Amino acid sequence: MMHLPDDVLRRRDVLPVKPAAVSLEGRKVRLTPLDLDRDTVALHAVTNGQPITLGDRHIAAYDPDELIWRWMFGGPFASEDGLRTYLKKLVDAPNGLAFCVSERESGQQVGVACLINNSPADLKIELGSISYSPVAQRTGVNTEATYLMLKHIFDLGYRRAEWKCNALNQRSRHSALRMGFQFEGIQEAHMIVKDSNRDTAWFRILAPEWEGVKRQLETLMGY
């Protein structure tokens, strides 16, 4: 059994169970603690299936279940109130921090990304409850938002960052691998979500791997 160094063990007493609120800014995106009054209406407008125009991008009417909500714990949301109830759970999570992801250039809210299942006692934390409007998908928004969250948590001294998703969610699994997470396996019958079985695919990045992943992500983003 390997006893960890004292300086590593001391971090457990410093990190709060509910991650401290912080704003993170990159070249393309800005992550701010999700504010229900400020963000709900704007997020609903770009995730409810109605056409979207943002700058020179236009998304025709779409199926919000197929493009956003199918593998999430909630949604799609026909009403702003329904989305607000869902988001409030993320904001109020005792061991999580919910971010609203906005494009820097336009200021438009385009998605949600969270730090969840925080376990300071084990120096591990998960990136999850991630959802983006189709107007932000395949634009590099998710990559930079993920990079900013990973840099933040490893700078704080965490040893392990986790990413989990429904094993059937091929887009999420591909994203995890593309952004440097290592696949660890599938936990079968892990959850019941929306009255359906969920087998969960597990991915992770460990602190010693972070510098290599950081360089990989910065190359991917053209930093």
What would the pLDDT profile of 118-170 be if each residue is shown by its tens digit? 999 999 999 999 999 999 999 999 999 999 999 999 999 999 999 999 999 99
Give the ranges where the chain is alpha helix by DSSP (H): 6-14, 36-45, 64, 80-92, 141-156, 170-178, 210-221
Q: Give 162's contacts (C-beta < 8 A, 6+ positions apart).
A: 117, 124, 125, 126, 127, 202, 203, 204
Strands 124-132 and 109-119: antiparallel
Nearest to 221 by CA among 161, 142, 162: 142
Say how far apart CA 54 and CA 201 lie, in whole Å: 33
CA angle 21, 151, 215 (to 5 degrees): 165
Domain ranges of the chain: 6-221
Q: What's this model's pTM, rounded to 2 decimal places?
A: 0.97
Looking at CATH, the fold of the domain delimited by 6-221 is given as Aminopeptidase (3.40.630)
Q: Is 117 exposed, middle or buried (0-12, 13-18, 19+ CB in 10 A)?
A: middle
* pLDDT at site 141: 97
Indicate whether 70 pLDDT > 90: yes
Q: Which residues of 53-70 are buried (b: 16+ CB within 10 A; e: fewer)?
A: ebeeeebeebebeebbbb
* pLDDT at site 1: 80
Query: Residue 1 carries which DSSP code?
Result: -
Say how far apart CA 38 and CA 54 lie, in whole Å: 19
Q: Is 99 helix (H, G, I), strand (E, B) or coil?
A: strand
Mean pLDDT of 16-38: 98
Say how far apart CA 118 and CA 16 lie, in whole Å: 9
* pLDDT at site 87: 98
Q: What percent of the chain has pLDDT over 90?
A: 99
Indicate whether 78 pLDDT > 90: yes
Mean pLDDT of 66-70: 98
Mean pLDDT of 75-92: 98
Report the DSSP beta bridge partners of residue 187.
200
* pLDDT at site 67: 98
Q: What is the mean pLDDT of the chain?
A: 97
Say how far apart CA 115 and CA 178 lie, in whole Å: 19
* pLDDT at site 35: 98
* pLDDT at site 2: 83
Residue type, 181: F
What are the pLDDT digits (tens) for 189-211? 999 999 999 999 999 999 999 99
